[in-house]
Structure 1
Amino acid sequence: MNDLAMPHEPAGHEDRLVYRLLLAVDIQGYTRLDVREQLRVQRDLSGALDRAAEGAGLDRRRWEKQVGGDGELAMPPEETAVAAAVGEFPLLLAAELRELNRSRSGRPRLRVRLAVHYGTLTAGPFGPAGQAPIVVQRLLDAGPLRALLRDDPDRDLAYVVSDKVYEDVVRTGFTRMVPGDFQSIRITAKNATYRGHIHVGDPMVFADLGELHKVPVPAPRAAV
């Protein structure tokens, strides 16, 4: 994914420090695909993200996004329900990816990494400045997260949360995430240390929980 550059705050708010939730997603193995397949997986992922967000009661149309060929960095509105973004959205995304991959006969599976963090940032002329955008990007690019997809062929989604999100959200019991299903990681990049927690629980159970939460589409009414 490219360097961070999301829409800046309106004039007069550039010096305001705010807490915001950030979600970053990236397609595993994107550069190995040909151009036509890259376009297909971009469309597939966009649709999966939209459906997962809708199922969690989140509106991606209101998210500020920086999109790249292989993913996006998104910043939902301040009033976003954090428990839904942290605990429901990933489950639904895993279910959407599993469903997509079942229909992708003869095509490479769509497998993605997802990182979530919240922290302080401020608007700048080239996008947000602060530690929060840096932390979520470092977690998304973490070697252990990439290895999780590489070493587990049954997993379509590799999910990591920052240490702060784990302590403040996952461990509260306000999500269906089981704290014991996460494994702590510590990574060093550019002389800085970042801590997070990777979901290492059964990927089938993870996607099953998302399936259970999906709202079934009503059957068409019979003509009278």
Structure 2
Amino acid sequence: MSFQPFHHTIVATDVVGSSARHDQLQLKMRDDLRGVLERTLRRQDLDLAELAPTDLGDGFRLHAPAAVSPLAMVSPFVDNLVTELRVHRQSANERSRLRLRVAIHMGLLNREPHGGWAGIVLSECARLLDAPAARDLIADAPDADLVLVVSDAVFDAVVRQGYGPAPEQFRRIPVTVKESNFSAWAYLPAPWVAAAADSSAVRRTVAANGPTAPADTAGMPSAGSGVVLGSAHAVIGPTGGTWFTAGRRAAGDGV
């Protein structure tokens, strides 16, 4: 039996804390996540079925064919997903809230006759999704709805070329899972505006680091973009609102 691999962009999702939900909440979680993904893709005129979703139990894996640019699966996909998670959060209680780890990778995939998939990029994407550093990032940011992890291939071909979130908004993380030991790039979208100044995450950060003077706004991300996990500071946005970055940059972090 011979196969002919084709290039795909792979997007894998996993719901944070899914194992703590009982059966009924698990069913609701899966239905809600499918709906969120459908609406996210609809925002950019894509259909979930076109991306041949694979059920991962606690999430879904999407396979975007070569006809769908990898750029589209980073931007506007990530921003659209953040928006849909925020909308879902408005009508969900804390037990049914969806918080995600999202991994994006790309490479050659074989489609098997029975509909399955084969390719080393699948196991690599699974390692990205399971990276302990990514789990720690979202665990330490309870106000965040997702953490994104992208492979070097995606970072170099998409992010570093100016598409999607700015490269400096990512941080290098280790991916040490099972027999794998490599590195990737993590991004924590945090669209905190003036109204979020009283959020618990910002209060904790300001208490730990103290207030600082407004920074130069040149080149700052839009309100819909993520922020670097750097020392806390306030930035006056172009519309007069205030953005806050949270966390503390580790020595040597950055692009």
**TM-score scaled by length of structure 1:** 0.79
Moved more, 165-174 or 123-132: 123-132
Q: Which of 125, 128, 137 is matched with 1:148 structurally? A: 137
CA deviations over 1:82-137 (Å, ceiling 9, x no partner): 21111211111111111111211364421111100001232446733222101111
Determine the structure 2 residue equivalent to 1:5.
none
**Whole-angstrom distance in 2 between the partners of 1:121 and 1:77:** 9
Q: Does 1:16 align with 2:9?
A: no
Determine the structure 1 residue equivalent to 2:35.
47
TM superposition shift of 1:152: 0.4
RCO higher in structure (CA 8 A, sep ≥6)? 1
Moved more, 85-94 or 51-60: 51-60
Gaps of 5+ in 1: 1-11, 211-224
Structure 1 segment 1-224 matched on structure 2, within 5 A: 14-105=2-93, 107-124=95-112, 127-175=116-164, 177-200=165-188, 202-204=190-192, 209=224
Determine the structure 2 residue equivalent to 1:219.
none
TM superposition shift of 1:174: 2.9
Gaps of 5+ in 2: 194-220, 226-255
**Residue identity (%):** 33
**Whole-angstrom distance in 1 between the partners of 2:175 and 2:32:** 31
**Whole-angstrom distance in 2 between the partners of 1:125 and 1:186:** 35
2:147 touches 2:189 (CA, 8 Å); kept in 1?
no
**Whole-angstrom distance in 1 between the partners of 2:151 and 2:97:** 27
1:91 touches 1:207 (CA, 8 Å); kept in 2?
no
**Whole-angstrom distance in 2 between the partners of 1:59 and 1:15:** 26
**Whole-angstrom distance in 2 between the partners of 1:207 and 1:118:** 27
**Whole-angstrom distance in 2 between the partners of 1:68 and 1:39:** 13
The count of aligned residue pairs is: 197
Determine the structure 1 residue equivalent to 2:205.
none
TM superposition shift of 1:59: 2.0
1:24 touches 1:116 (CA, 8 Å); kept in 2?
yes
- Decide whether aligned partners of structure 1 residues 68 and 121 sit closer, same or farther in structure 2, where only a CA change above 3 A counts: closer
Amino acid at match of 2:100: V
